[in-house]
Structure 1
């Protein structure tokens, strides 16, 4: 390898499964909305320059995905010599009245627009004209670049006071065919040496896949074919109060999010005249170390778990806490080794899209991300709120992604507007569930 030539940074197993799953619309992209207190006074040119400067400290933000020639191994990441912030930044004035719904409409357009594959897979929209003189930064990244935890860590590095580790060697020359071939041979040799661990990993993977009690989700209107559009809505709660209630019932904040979300879905289904007492939930479990931002990519795997949806909120919280502790707590990601090759094979056979569009294994997906405890700032404008966004697909008309930041728990409902025309019913139910969890007492009503 000659001087200033990049080493080969291959995609991991989780990345490959994500790439294979990115079929149809909307694309598999995630977003974070950073609401800036009084940020409408910021100069868009200064904001763009600051984003460009701080992106230098996130190596993947200046790399593009490259497919290796046939026979030379998995896709890899390569420095984008033509990187220009103008390809990743735009300024939008929010429509009146500049409230949550108007901001979410801008974010919807941003996260559902497919990022070009010939450049680094991220973009940011600077939104001014929000109510109260606020502004927002809507960061969008493709899911193949990172999972939610890694994306959150990357966003935190855009805040004031974070170190920017510049890369003086950028841009490195892309690896040549000989280097790709040598790396592929080394990779294959490592795989052969790892075969002695294969039986144990298969057993572990099968155990994880058998964490659930049923082979299919209960039949309900939650499982319907989804279209290209998405609609988002947000509910908030006091993080400290909800966490105290969760701990009093043997759980953590993640258990409270699961409880509130499944309870809200039960109320929604009941309003539709459907009787479903349990739901099968896909929840992510991270295999990351302490420094979540050290390496991007996908280091989380989904675990299906049967959870109660009917009954008193606090009773369900206790049950959910026990289930996640004794079942999901045993999962270590071995199932990804079994699932990823299957997904990639289905993609090659052009069957994955059909499988995704017709799955009835899962009722919904619920993700919780733990954000910074203290509030951050951007160009000295306090980041007053962080709203998580995802574009979950897979025949699920409703899913949830939640984030705790600066003392506030924010839960975003992700819906297909063609299938969910009763979103206000869902959000009223979600806020009612969160209110019970905030108070730590009370009875479920309705």
Structure 2
């Protein structure tokens, strides 16, 4: 079977976005290269590279990399003093924005030693075309201890012939809708005109806010909402506070919330299976009333909203997607949330004591948020262009304050 990219994958490829996670380890696990060499074969995509097809052959395909060498993907660095979380995040930020070479499988794993309390970390980075957030967790589940034994496929498999590619592409065209319609489509709302939208540069910085999953869930249920509603309320409240400090008073912000269309949560079915759902949410009011309003809004939105992915496909087809993303005023920020392992896991026998999501921001969105739950802790990473967001610390402090009010 031909492992072909989806339309959403092609959009991710064009964006160049990379994502990942930091596994904070109780100590250095030792020979990670050998460990990953044993486990990577259980995830076929980790040994496949992306290649273009000849004319008429359809979208790019994944083929086994006959020259795959684990040493080209696993690296080691020593964290500079003082080896605290901020120093670790600086390393992780530099890794997630460093473009992965397209001549090889699109992932990397970096062991970071020299951390405080003799801890270590594993920073795993994927190109978004390889996997979205849920798929990325499925990959990690296959790399940590206790993953089910999966018989590796014969490697390397021969690449499909041009005849097979053209035949497969035509079969896909015949069984897929001939077009998508934008009739009746309306963008939910224009984003607020504010300093959250500016052209961004190449640098990124990541900071962390945390709370308890159980306390956040209890607070959300009290207001008729979900954990994701509580996250959205905390984000918009924090941004409203910081915008006011900047002298900007904004009543509502449009938040881009990914919507998963994934039918499988295993590492055998990766790729990008998310759509984009923009929703206008309030920034003001007290914490509890805002959460109640947001819970009602998202409930209604889930029933009536249409993902805007086809719009971006159209823009990409016209060759203006990059221009649009750099000049748009439809979305003010992006918030993602992935449910991670409920119980602690180990890597090479070493406890994973923390799991930090790594995200990116593109276009003219100066700050974005990625949340990940792990073993009862809810971690939110704030990623921003530090040159456009010099008050990143204030945003993080305001977010932590909002989470604490709910906890």
TM-score of the superposed pair, with normalisation by structure 1: 0.88
Alignment of 1:344 onto 2:329: no
- Would you say the 8 A contact 1:305–1:328 is kept in 2? no
In structure 2, what is the equivalent of residue 136 of structure 1? 121
2:24 corresponds to which of 35, 45, 55:
35
2:362 corresponds to which of 390, 393, 410:
393
2:199 corresponds to which of 190, 201, 225:
225
- Would you say the 8 A contact 2:43–2:268 is kept in 1? no
Alignment of 1:301 onto 2:289: no
**Alpha-carbon distance change, 419 to 157 in structure 1, aligned in 2, over 3 angstroms:** same
Separation (CA, whole Å) in 2 of partners of 1:331 and 1:171: 43
Separation (CA, whole Å) in 2 of partners of 1:400 and 1:323: 20
- Would you say the 8 A contact 1:56–1:164 is kept in 2? no
Following TM superposition, by how much is the alpha carbon of 1:164 offset from its aligned partner in structure 2, in angstroms?
3.7
Alignment of 1:254 onto 2:223: no
| Cα deviation digits, residues 22-52 of structure 1 (max 9, x gap) | 3xxxxx1001000011x23x32xx2111112
Alignment of 1:171 onto 2:156: yes
Runs of 4+ in structure 1 displaced over 6 angstroms?
Answer: none
Matches within 5 A, 1:28-177: 28-37=17-26, 39-40=27-28, 42-43=29-30, 46-177=31-162
RMSD: 1.6
**Alpha-carbon distance change, 298 to 138 in structure 1, aligned in 2, over 3 angstroms:** same
Following TM superposition, by how much is the alpha carbon of 1:96 offset from its aligned partner in structure 2, in angstroms?
1.0
| Cα deviation digits, residues 41-73 of structure 1 (max 9, x gap) | x32xx2111112111111110111010012221
Query: 5+ unaligned residues in a row in structure 1: which ranges?
Result: 1-6, 23-27, 439-446
**Alpha-carbon distance change, 329 to 375 in structure 1, aligned in 2, over 3 angstroms:** farther
In structure 2, what is the equivalent of residue 182 of structure 1? 167
Query: 5+ unaligned residues in a row in structure 2: which ranges?
Result: none
1:320 corresponds to which of 265, 285, 294:
294
Separation (CA, whole Å) in 2 of partners of 1:269 and 1:389: 24
Matches within 5 A, 1:235-246: 235-246=209-220
- The 3-state SS of whatever aligns with 1:117 is coil
Separation (CA, whole Å) in 1 of partners of 2:360 and 2:250: 25
1:281 corresponds to which of 255, 263, 283:
255
**Alpha-carbon distance change, 61 to 256 in structure 1, aligned in 2, over 3 angstroms:** same
